[in-house]
Homo-oligomer: A and B are copies of this chain.
């Protein structure tokens, strides 16, 4: 019998809970809004309890959470959502609550690290050992697999907060980041586009100057990521990337910024498979959580 794996994609606005298999199939799934920790984690527990009663008992559970989180097993706050500004959620012992009710091996990480893991397992980065998963949406985040390992380091990457070159004459918008103003997220996330141009990106046509500027900022970030992480591939998820034409502009500008410096055919000759969309589409998050569940079994 195929082993069943549970996954929770805990986003800031919605939760997705699912049961799937190690070949990347999702068998059952439920989605509900993120409210208080008590209520939302409670609904997740109800889902798994009902599935278990229905004969679908999971062997492991992966939790992919909005951050910042503590992803370090062994730390006293492992499995906590830590300093989030989201009301009610700061210092939430997310994993502890789950462990009191479900007795299977569990793994806990950021939503973007989990998405990277899932893309490496079943999606756009199969077979690769070093790559980045970016999401460009309400915020900007990134997960990193480095030499086959999820990158945590001191805490975990916060890729959206790198510096970019901000030409104030061309773009006087000061950025939306409450910490850094014009870091990558401050200049290029969805709300930054909306504030700068007075309307959301979904209403701006593909030939609007917003997209030339956006592609330039994202390409700058990709130059830095290519030089710092030396990834074999960069995956660009998130709602902002759905804009027709944006991905190809980003590819073109990244090549222009790198200017031949990274002399590898993967970059110079195959940019369309170096900078790509997620292979798992809207399931990247929850399949990432299921991929985390697999790592919990391997570790147990």
A residues at B contact (CB < 8 Å): 68, 82-83, 129-130, 142, 144, 146-168, 179-180, 182-183, 220-221, 223-225, 227-232, 257-264, 266-267
Bound-state CA distance A231–B229 (Å) is 12
**Contact partners of A182 in chain B: CB under 8 A:** 165
Tell me the smallest distance from the CB of A111 to a CB of chain B, in Å.
Answer: 16
* Among B149, B180, B260, contact of A147 (Cβ-Cβ < 8 Å): B149
Q: Which residue of B179, B259, B266 is within 8 Å of A259 (Cβ)?
A: B179
Copies in the complex: 2
Known: A130-B152, A164-B165. A158 touches B230 (CB 8 A): yes
The 10 closest A-B pairs by CB, nearest first: A153-B230, A130-B153, A146-B146, A162-B224, A147-B149, A161-B227, A179-B261, A158-B227, A179-B259, A163-B220
Q: A179-B259, A259-B180 are in contact. Are A153 and B232 (CB under 8 A)?
A: yes
Least CB distance from A294 to B in Å reads 18
Chain B contacts of A261 at CB under 8 A?
Answer: 158, 161, 179-180
Q: Quick check: A227 and B83 within 8 Å, CB to CB?
A: no
By a CB distance below 8 angstroms, the chain B residues around A168 are 167
CB atoms of B227 and A224 under 8 A apart: no
A–B pairs, 11, beta carbons within 8 Å: A129-B153, A130-B151, A130-B152, A146-B149, A147-B147, A154-B267, A155-B264, A159-B228, A179-B261, A180-B261, A224-B228
CA distance A180 to B255 in the complex (A): 12
Question: In the complex, A182→B260 CA distance in Å?
Answer: 15
Measured between alpha carbons, how far is A164 from B162 in the docked complex, in Å? 9
Name the prevailing secondary structure of the A interface residues: loop
Cβ-defined contact, A146 with B151, below 8 A:
yes
Interface centre among A160, A162, A168, A220 (most CB of B within 10 A): A162
Instruction: Say yes or no: A162 contacts B223, CB within 8 Å.
Output: yes
- A153-B230, A154-B267 are known contacts; what are 7 more A-B pairs with Cβ within 8 Å? A130-B151, A151-B230, A157-B229, A161-B261, A162-B223, A162-B227, A179-B259
Nearest CB of chain B from residue A276's CB, rounded to whole Å: 14
- Assembled-state Cα–Cα distance A167/B257 (Å): 18
Most buried by B among A158, A161, A167, A263: A161
- Which chain B residue lies CB-closest to A131? B153
Give Cα A157–Cα B144 distance, bound, in whole angstroms: 14
Asked if A165 contacts B162 (CB within 8 A), the reply is: no
| List of B residues within 8 angstroms of A82 by Cβ | 263
Chain B residues whose C-beta falls within 8 Å of the C-beta of A231 in the assembled complex: 153-154
Minimum CB–CB distance for A71 against chain B, Å: 10
CB-CB nearest in chain B for A130: B153
Q: Give min CB distance, A264 to chain B, whole Å.
A: 6
Contact between A152 and B159 (Cβ–Cβ < 8 Å)?
A: no
Cα-based distance from A152 to B162 in the complex (angstroms): 21
